[in-house]
Amino acid sequence: MCGIAGLLNYHGLSEEASVPFNIKSASALFSIERRGPDDCGEWDDGICWLGHRRLSVVDLNASGRQPMQRNNLNISFNGMIYNFVDLRDQLMGLGHKFWSKTDTEVILAGWQEWGVDLLPRLHGMFAIAIWDSKDRVLTLARDRFGKKPIFWRHWKSGIAFGSRLDTVEILTERGQLSDTALAWLLTLKYIPEPLSAVEDINKIPAGHILEISPSETNLHRWYNLEPAVNVANLNLAEQTKLVRHSVIEAVENRLVADVPVACFLSGGIDSAIIASAARQSRKIDSFTVGLDMGDGSPWLFDERERARETAMFLDTEHHETVIRPNEALDQIDRLFCTALDEPFGDASALPSMMVASAMRQQATVALSGDGADEVFGGYRKYQGELLAKNWQSMPKAVQQIFKYLISILPSHRNSYFGERVRVAQKFLSGASLGPYERHAVWMRILDHASLEQAIGAKASFISVENLLKDVTIPKIIDSLTAVLARDITIILCSDMLTKVDRTSMEFGLEVRSPFLDHRVVETALAIDGKNKIKLGKGKHILRNAFQNDLPSNIFNRPKKGFEIPIARWLRKEFAEWTKMALDPTFLEELGINPRMGKTWNKQLNEENHKTAELVWTLLSIHQWKSMRQ
């Protein structure tokens, strides 16, 4: 796992800017140092410059140094290809010779042999930059689900690119937070791809390739989300066996490393399944994160006790990271100004960053359960999809009575009852709507009317419904699985994987996600939604596939998930930060109606969770902008 950077100028690098290019290149490499703390390299031919920071995981000696050259091809690569040994054997059979044991060299030889047809052969996560000095073509390619980022920008007679937004800005010039990015942050708390925080800097979308030649720039898709057709015709028992086999194989492939490997371990089944499969091959360390409220009161979403039970059963070397409000406060600047690189309002990034810091002291590679909820249907909103049809068939009078009763109950995250009320209220907010509208309501933190009140006419360009409709859905999958496919394309890529990549790479920790092996995903897509999601129980087929590997109490636990008490923290321990985020002058500078600050502060004091997410998002914008002044 590494950091990449590059600049292409067909008129020559020396014409790039008033600042000497060697200063820009050094600064660009420094910006990605944390992604690759073990080695540094750069190469140029006067037209294209490639930079690289290396996190050494496989073949730790100098033969793995990048950028790497092979004949007329030059590469800067971030990621891990799990089947590189098999590909190397194939290429050796075709006459290719190798001087290293790296996946990077295999990519170069494979590109020489197959060109872009190499990409479907790659199993893994990657952001690849290949410069063909003979044909003068630069190719940037990103993995299927967007685990590894590439930002890019048209610049003069070429482009600049990098693993971080600020890397691209260093190579070009600094930009400002765009109105579109602001509107999406207020709506979703993250910026959906291919957009970035800056207007003319984009992200290469997951599963896409960008080719730049002297005559054109061409962005196109190389991977489509499709179900495995051979799986759809199997019976349920055979599908269950295949799910088990594909997940175990994905875990085994991701244990390949010349450095220590550990596991994230929450209180849920996803990380437990991954840790269990890994434990079959080796002794392994596991890590979890918990919360000390500071006043002795319990926190509903603390997972330490559950994780301890799983770790004890699996006999892992278990470690706990405990977050305390004062320690979290100390980490805010590092999170918003360094790790995240652009505004990002998912508050779970904070515990993710803190547990990544602890893991890096013991391991360089970590396995996670990321993706299981989107791929196999674990979130509560998927239960809502099952219930919506029943709700819509109920008499309107009964619906109104039920809505009223739920609306007058206290909704908060400080008790089990308050949390259940909150979930019921969220369900009812979208239960009567059509599929796209319902999905949109359950995704966003500000509805369109509130967004319009906050930013006026700029809100007219934002439509979560259209974002959902633009996702290409395979025709042969059922409507429930189509909801999962939209979440894989939008939320998984732009929120969940962004969070994991940025917070882990802040400490040079490589995170591998077996559930996002493309064969696991394509197998799951081919299974009917009703076999993945049962009323009251998500990830049904995944549970059945691994029910004999772990105690029944682990599988029977209700879904919990680790969250921090952001509403409480923003009102108490983080009160000064809240004042900055809701300050009328700051809001006005952003183009937000300054009177909204009082409204949002009142809602925050009423423990409105969505408002807490909104204020946290505004805080991320405030710190990001402050850091750039």
Q: Percent of the chain having pLDDT more than 70?
A: 94
Mean pLDDT of 241-248: 96
Q: Determine contact, residues 613/620, Cβ cutoff 8 Å.
A: no
Q: How far apart are the first and last CA of the chain?
A: 31
Looking at residue 109, its amino acid is: A
598 burial class (0-12, 13-18, 19+ CB within 10 angstroms)? exposed
Alpha carbons 111 and 97: distance in angstroms, whole number: 14
Tell me: the pLDDT tens digits for 197-226?
Answer: 999 999 999 999 999 999 999 999 999 999
The mean pLDDT value of the chain amounts to 89
Q: Does 16 have pLDDT greater than 60? A: no
Q: Give the least confident one: 253-262, 320-329, 478-487, 490-499.
A: 320-329
Strand partners, 73: 70, 132
Alpha carbons 177 and 372: distance in angstroms, whole number: 33
132-150 burial, b at 16+ Cβ within 10 Å, e below that, comes to beeebebbbbbbbbbbbbb
For 112, half-sphere exposure in the C-beta direction (CA atoms, 13 angstrom radius) is 23
Q: Determine contact, residues 521/217, Cβ cutoff 8 Å.
A: no
Residue 238 tokens, joined:
């055979």
Helix (H) or strand (E) holding 154: strand 151-155
Q: Does 380 have pLDDT greater than 90? A: no
Q: What pLDDT score does 141 carry?
A: 98
List the domain boundaries for the chain. 2-221, 229-376+480-555, 566-629
CATH number for the domain formed by residue range(s) 2-221: 3.60.20.10
With cut-offs at 50, 70 and 90, classify the pLDDT of residue 625: very high
Mean pLDDT of 446-465: 90
Helix (H) or strand (E) holding 322: strand 317-323
Q: Does 118 have pLDDT greater than 90? A: yes
Q: What pLDDT score does 15 carry?
A: 66
Mean pLDDT of 571-582: 92
Residue 138 tokens, joined:
């630069």
Alpha carbons 487 and 440: distance in angstroms, whole number: 11
Mean pLDDT of 226-254: 94
Tell me: the pLDDT tens digits for 279-311?
Answer: 988 888 999 888 876 665 555 567 788 888 898
pTM exceeding 0.85: yes
Closest by CA to 106, choosing from 80, 127, 132, is 80
Q: What pLDDT score does 430 carry?
A: 72
Tell me: the pLDDT tens digits for 39-93?
Answer: 889 999 999 999 999 876 766 666 778 899 999 999 999 999 999 999 999 999 9
Alpha carbons 232 and 96: distance in angstroms, whole number: 38
Token pair 């009160």: residue: 575
In CATH terms, the superfamily for domain 229-376+480-555 is HUPs (3.40.50.620)
Tell me: the pLDDT tens digits for 512-562?
Answer: 999 999 999 999 999 999 999 998 888 999 999 999 998 888 777 666 566
For 272, half-sphere exposure in the C-beta direction (CA atoms, 13 angstrom radius) is 28
Closest by CA to 225, choosing from 467, 475, 504, is 475
